[in-house]
Structure 1
C-alpha cells in the first residue's frame, strides 16, 4: 500500500510539473508572439519621427543594441559545450542569418514605408504558404489537397482586404505589399534551411550565429551607403526619441521574443507555438489602431478572420501529419 501510495504521489507531482511546464510554455509563446508583432508598430512610429529615415539606419540601431547580448550568450553556450560547431555549420548559420535578419528585414522595413502595420503583419503571417511550396520544390516535401485548400483560404482573405478594406489605402500599396510578400517568401526559405542547422548545433547557438552573420552584412551595407566613418556619425545623429524606440525595438521586439519563442518550443513544441503565433496579427491590429490611429473597417475584419482561419487550419493539419512521424 505504501509503495502504491508513493507511486500515486509521484504521478501526481509529475502531472503538476508537466502542467506548470506547459502553462509556462504557453505563456512564453503568447508573449513572444505579441512582442514580435510590435515591431511593425515601432517601425511606423520611427518613420513618423524621421520620415526620410533610411531602413538600413534603423536596422543598424536595432542590431547594434542587441548584438552584444547575442555574442555574450554565444560565448556562454560554447563554454558550456553546447552545440557541435564546425566551419560549415558556422558559415551556414551565418549565411542563413543574413537571409532572414538582413535581407528579409530590409525588405520588411522598406515595405513598412508604404503600407500600414496591420497589412504588413497580415502579409507576413502567410509565410507558411511559401513553406509548403518551397518544401515541395527544394526539400522533397509533399503538397496535400488539404494544405492547398488552407493556403487558398488564407489568400482569399487577403483578396477581401485588398478589394474592400481600409488598411490597404496607400499611394504605393503594390510596392509595399510586394516587398513584404517577398520578405515572407524568403523567411519561409530561411525556416526550411534553419531546421537542419538547429538539429545539429542547437537553437540558441544557431540564433546567435545567425544574428552575428546578419550584423556583419548589415554593417558593410551601412558603411557603404554612409560613405565612411564621418557619414556614419552623421547618419546616427538622431532625435532622442528615436534612440528610445531603437532600444525598445532591439530589446522588447528582438532579444526577448527570440528567446521566449525558443523556450516555448522546448516546452510545448514548435507546432503549438506556431498556433499561438496567431495572436501576433491580432495584437498588431489593436496596437496599430490605438497607437498609430490606423483605420480598420468591416471588410478588414472579415478578410483578416478568413486569413487567420486558413493559416490556423494549415498549422493544425501539419501538426496532425507530424505526430505519426514522432512516434
Structure 2
C-alpha cells in the first residue's frame, strides 16, 4: 500500500488535528490487529482459506476501486490529482496486475493458510517482521543500501519468534511448523510486493495503481477459487456472512483508509511507531475473544519482536536524517 505525501509537518499542524491523527492511527492498528481473530472465527463454519479469501475480496475490492475512482475524479476536477500523464504501455498494467496478485493474493492466501494452525498472536508477530525482509531483499536484488547495524534487529526479532515457536511446538505439535512456513512465505511475498510496487506507483500514481493491483488480486483469487471449489461449495449462513463483512470492512477496508487519513495529520514515523501496538492488540484480542492462553513466552516473544523492529526503525530514521544533513551541508 502506498503512503500519501505529507504536505504539512506535525509542527505546523493544529494540535487537535495531530491528536486526531494519533487516534485514527491507533484505531487503524487495532482494526488491522483484528484480522486474525475474524479469520479464526470464520474457520468454525467449514470454510477454507481460498474460499474465505475469495469472500473477503468480493466484498472489499469494490470499495477500493470505488474510493480510488472517486479520489482520482475529485482530484482531477480540482486540478490537484497526483497522477502523472497516463502511460499507455500495456506491459505496465500487466506488471501491476502481477504485483497486485503477489501482494494481495499470494501474501494473503499464505497468511490465511497459516492461521489454520497458528494462533493469531504468533501469526501477527511473524508478519510484523516484513520490514526486515524489505531490507534484505532490497540489498540483494534492488541495489538498495544495507545498514549493517540493522542485522541486530533481525537477531533480536527472531529470538523472540523462536521463543514463541518452541513454546507452541511443545503445546500444539508439528502442525505449527507448517503454519510458520506459510506465514513466513506471506511475509516474504509482502516484502517483495512493497519493493516491486514502488516504481509502479511512481509511474501510475497511487489511486490508479491500487485499482489495478486490487483487480489483479481479485482475478487471481477468483481463478484460484474456481480451480479448487464450486460456487455451490460455500454454504453461506448469517453468522458466516457477518464474519466475512467484519473481515472485509472492519479488518481490511476501514483500517486502510484510517491509516491514510492518519498519515495526512501525523508523520509516517509516528504512524510506524504507533503500529508497534498492533501485535499487542492481537495478543489481547486472542485472549479475550478466542479464549487462548497467553503465556509468559508469548509476552516475552512479543516484546523481543517489537524491540527488534523498533530498533530497525530507529536505525533507519537516524541514518536517513544524517544523510539528509550531509546532503544539505
SS in 1 for 2:118: coil
Q: What's 2:30 paired with?
A: 34
Given that 1:167 and 1:300 are in contact with CA atoms closer than 8 Å, whether structure 2 keeps it comes out as no
Inter-CA distance 204–31: structure 2 relative to 1 (3 Å threshold) = farther
Given that 1:33 and 1:279 are in contact with CA atoms closer than 8 Å, whether structure 2 keeps it comes out as yes
CA displacement at 1:168 relative to structure 2? 6.3
Given that 1:166 and 1:300 are in contact with CA atoms closer than 8 Å, whether structure 2 keeps it comes out as no
Q: Confirm whether residue 55 of structure 1 aligns to residue 49 of structure 2.
A: yes
CA–CA distance in structure 1, aligned partners of residues 50 and 306 of structure 2: 31
Within a 5 Å distance, the mapping from 1:203-214 to structure 2 comes to: 203-214=206-217
SS in 2 for 1:278: helix
Inter-CA distance 37–70: structure 2 relative to 1 (3 Å threshold) = same
Within the candidate set 117, 137, 159, 1:156 is matched to 159
CA displacement at 1:211 relative to structure 2? 1.3
CA–CA distance in structure 2, aligned partners of residues 49 and 193 of structure 1: 36
Q: Confirm whether residue 115 of structure 1 aligns to residue 118 of structure 2.
A: yes
Indicate the larger mover: 314-323 or 283-292.
314-323
Q: Normalising by the residue count of structure 2, what TM-score does the alignment of the two structures yield?
A: 0.86
Given that 2:65 and 2:210 are in contact with CA atoms closer than 8 Å, whether structure 1 keeps it comes out as no
SS in 1 for 2:235: coil
CA displacement at 1:137 relative to structure 2? 0.6
Given that 1:116 and 1:168 are in contact with CA atoms closer than 8 Å, whether structure 2 keeps it comes out as no
CA–CA distance in structure 2, aligned partners of residues 132 and 300 of structure 1: 26
Within the candidate set 40, 57, 68, 2:62 is matched to 68
CA–CA distance in structure 2, aligned partners of residues 73 and 61 of structure 1: 20
- State which structure, 1 or 2, has the greater radius of gyration over its C-alpha atoms: 1
Given that 2:72 and 2:207 are in contact with CA atoms closer than 8 Å, whether structure 1 keeps it comes out as no
Q: What's 1:3 paired with?
A: none
CA–CA distance in structure 2, aligned partners of residues 311 and 15 of structure 1: 26
Q: What's 1:99 paired with?
A: 102
CA displacement at 1:77 relative to structure 2? 3.1
Q: What's 1:43 paired with?
A: 39
Q: What's 1:10 paired with?
A: none
CA–CA distance in structure 2, aligned partners of residues 140 and 266 of structure 1: 30
Task: Provide the aligned C-alpha RMSD in A.
Answer: 2.2
Unaligned runs of 5+ in 1: 1-13
CA–CA distance in structure 2, aligned partners of residues 89 and 274 of structure 1: 30
Unaligned runs of 5+ in 2: 1-9
